[in-house]
Amino acid sequence: MKNDCRIGLVQMESMVGQTELNFQKIIYLAEAAHKQQISLLCFPECALNGYSPQNASEIGETLDSSWIRQLKECTGDLGITLLVGMVEHSTDLSKPYISHAILSPGEEPSIYRKVHLGRSELDYFTSGDTFPIFSAHGTTFAVGVCWDWHFPETAAIYSLKGAEVLFAPHASPMIAGDRKEIWLRYLGARAYDNSVYLGACNLIGSNGKGKKFSGGSLVIGPKGEVCSQSNLNEEGILSANLSADRINLIRSPERASMRDSFFLADRRKELYHELIELDISSRVKASQE
């Protein structure tokens, strides 16, 4: 990291198909983040259009829509980078993506498309197939959406590509349980194993279609420690200052202490071919025979 970075994680209510309402809320929160001197502001999964797989074909935008253009203009006015969840349509596909638009001042919009779809999403969305990294405000970062973070390879790839901060936007319903309690079972490991900062956030309240979300936002440090977490039961922004010195020391060849280990630097990738070759279905079949 070139310098310390102040990030923001949003928990907000997003109504399915009410893009104007959601857009105005995003602008309001972006202006609030600007006043807090936040550089990178991450919104939850599908924040712009609302999250409802069954309605995905009826809602959503293309990356060149007026909504995205207006959000891009907002980044220039405020000098802030926005990471905005959306349902992204494409003329090439019958099913949309679950995407996150990356909007930075003076830059063309970039996109991350959710790679690992949940089972309830497979019939309604197209999965992405790349793990891009982005840079803004002296920080290199990446995005994984909700279910993506149950796959350790996602965080490892991003860290190996140079990502220093990972963002984990979610649309996790209340039925799944307390989001922060669940996150702490595995997101700390994603940060610790890969020496990255990780910021997570979630939708909160109703989607207007009968589903309710539990909210939650937290920031985890590169040694798996919880740096900050929100106790709000309403919409708002959790902010955190990320130290450049801390992560730069961990990733420096001159690091001398075990306390500052960068585990990926010592991996034995020549031995990991089995990770690609093995499949869970073969083990299940063998156990049934």
Q: What one-character DSSP code corresponds to residue 173?
A: B
Q: What is the pLDDT of residue 78?
A: 97
Pair 66, 108: CB distance under 8 Å: no
Helix axes 19-35, 66-78, angle to 10 degrees: 10
Alpha carbon dihedral 147, 153, 158, 159, in 10-degree steps, equals 130
SS3 91: coil
How big is the CA angle at 268 (ends 266 and 272), to the nearest 5 degrees?
Answer: 145
For residue 38 the two structure tokens come to 């936040």
With residue 141 as reference, give the H or E element that holds it: strand 139-143
State residue 252's pLDDT score: 87
Architecture of domain 5-288: 4-Layer Sandwich (3.60)
Tell me, what's the pLDDT at 233?
86
pLDDT tens digits, residue range 211-246? 999 999 999 999 999 999 998 889 999 999 999 999
pTM given for the model: 0.94
pLDDT of residue 283: 61
The pair of structure tokens assigned to 139 is: 């920080």
Q: What is the maximum alpha-carbon separation in the chain?
A: 64
Whole-number Å distance between alpha carbons of 205 and 212: 5
Rounded CA-CA distance 30/140 in Å is: 20
What's the pLDDT at 181?
A: 85
| SS3 call for 250 | helix
Q: Which residues contact 117 (CB under 8 A, 6 or more apart)?
A: 98, 125, 127, 147
- Give pLDDT, residue 172: 94
- Please report the pLDDT score of residue 31 as a whole number: 98
User: Which tokens belong to 179?
Assistant: 């989001």
C-beta of residue 142 within 8 angstroms of C-beta of residue 158: yes
Alpha carbon distance 74, 91 (integer Å): 27
Give, for all 289 residues of the chain, the pLDDT tens digit.
999 999 999 999 999 999 999 999 999 999 999 999 999 999 999 999 999 999 999 999 999 999 999 999 999 999 999 999 999 998 888 899 999 999 999 999 999 999 999 999 999 999 999 999 999 999 999 999 999 999 999 999 999 999 999 999 999 998 877 778 899 999 999 999 999 999 999 999 999 999 999 999 999 999 999 999 998 889 999 999 999 999 999 988 877 777 888 889 889 999 999 888 888 776 655 555 5
- Each domain of the chain, given as residue ranges in start order, spans 5-288
Output the CA torsion 72→73→79→85 (10° steps).
-30
pLDDT for position 285: 56
According to the model, what pLDDT value does residue 29 have? 98
